[in-house]
Amino acid sequence: MLTDRSGLIVWVTDLKAANKHLERYGSVHFISKRLHYAAMYVHASKLEETMKQLQKLAFVKKVERSYRNEIQTEYSNNGADKSSFYTL
């Protein structure tokens, strides 16, 4: 059973605190040490509530929604087939 998840990008000031506390709010996918952000997934039904809770944390600068699930990933092949051009 898969649950609907939404992605969040959390910009942080303290990586150690982010690593320790963000697991409470959802599953942390990646933490960038160089750019100081964390990519995480939360339940889609609790997205707005979780964003408000994260924004209240002392080490959080900004919380952004990820629009990755809204990007079109199915492509159409309307162009001409060039495979015959590259054959020997």
CA proximity to 39, closest of 24, 29, 48: 29
> What are the structural domain ranges in the chain?
5-66
Q: What is the pLDDT of residues 36-86, one digit of tens each?
A: 999 999 999 999 999 999 999 999 999 999 888 778 878 777 777 777 777
pLDDT computed for residue 16 by the predictor: 94
pLDDT computed for residue 12 by the predictor: 97
CATH of domain 5-66: 3.30.70.80
44, 5 Cβ separation under 8 angstroms: yes
Mean pLDDT value across residues 8-37: 95
CA proximity to 38, closest of 65, 57, 19, 59: 19
